[in-house]
Amino acid sequence: MYHINGLAPEPTSTDNPASLLGTYQTERHEIAQQLIEFDRKFSSMFSGQMGATEGLTQEEFQQVFKLGNGFTNDDVKSKSPNPVTGTDYISGILRPGRRLLNVRLLRHADGWQRDIHDDIPSTGRFRILCLTSTDLLDRSSVSAQTLEAVTLLEAQFPKSIIEQIVLHPQLHRSFEWNDVPTCVKRQAEMRFYDGSALDDAYGIYGVDPARGALVVVRPDGYVGVVSCLGDVQKVDRYLRQCIRTVASN
């Protein structure tokens, strides 16, 4: 139900293009069919309906339980491409159509330990997760340029529809606010985290700290698109499929 309800407010909002309505049939219907098929197989296993001639193998038994775990963990996705779910990924578990896995982070502003899920409540917002790279403290770096570009991108959409979450890997030295792009404190002061002090967020997500990544997290907590750090255009194209820009309102 979380998966289905997460985007419920989105298509009816004036900030979202009407084409988004079609994604319900594309994405949700297929998942519902998978759940019905799983329920049929699972109930047959214990109801005596499976005769000896069907010969349920151990491998088939394990496959049914594996699928069941996917529904339990909210990790079953549609295989059909659609505007709100991209089809490619860089590496690791950050894949379109999967719910963003929780990791524990250390907030730079006050040293508080936080779960990343604390920053993605179901409030109807899209989040741009910037996993900056080890070059963050270089003012002319890909990380710095990406953060500035994401800030400009955010301004093209209605206020409060998009939020930034910024992570950094283990860096070669300690730093202060004036060592990072000013847009970080302005746009994401309480959502700027050390991704290595508690959990190894980069290792868990499968992101190379030397390269970084950009991730759009949908309002339902699922990954919408993943791009290389610096490829803000890909993020822009994705968001324009889901949200009307300010100029087009």
pLDDT along the chain (249 residues), means of 10: 45 49 56 69 61 56 63 53 50 86 97 94 94 96 97 92 96 95 95 97 96 95 94 95 75
Q: What is the pLDDT of residue 133?
A: 97
Q: What gap in Å lies between CA 133 and CA 126, rounded to an integer?
A: 22
CATH number for 89-242 (one of 3.40.190.10, 3.10.20.30, 3.90.1150.10, 3.40.30.20): it is 3.40.30.20
- Sign of the CA dihedral running 144, 145, 150, 151: positive
Q: State the burial class of residue 226 (Cβ atoms within 10 Å of its Cβ: 0-12, 13-18, 19+).
A: buried
Which pLDDT belongs to residue 247? 61
User: Does the CA dihedral 23-26-27-32 come out positive or negative?
Assistant: positive
Nearest to 81 by CA among 26, 30, 31: 26
Output the pLDDT for position 9. 46
Reduced to 3 states (helix: H, G, I; strand: E, B; else coil), residue 113 is: strand
Sign of the alpha-carbon torsion through 90, 93, 95, 99: negative
What is the model's pTM? 0.71
Phi, psi of 44 (to 5 degrees): -65, -30
H/E run at residue 161? none
Per-residue pLDDT at 88: 52
pLDDT of residue 72: 59
All CATH 3.40.30.20 domain ranges of the chain, comma separated, are 89-242
- How many CB atoms sit inside 10 A of residue 46's CB? 8
CB 7 within 8 A of CB 84: yes
pLDDT value at residue 245: 87
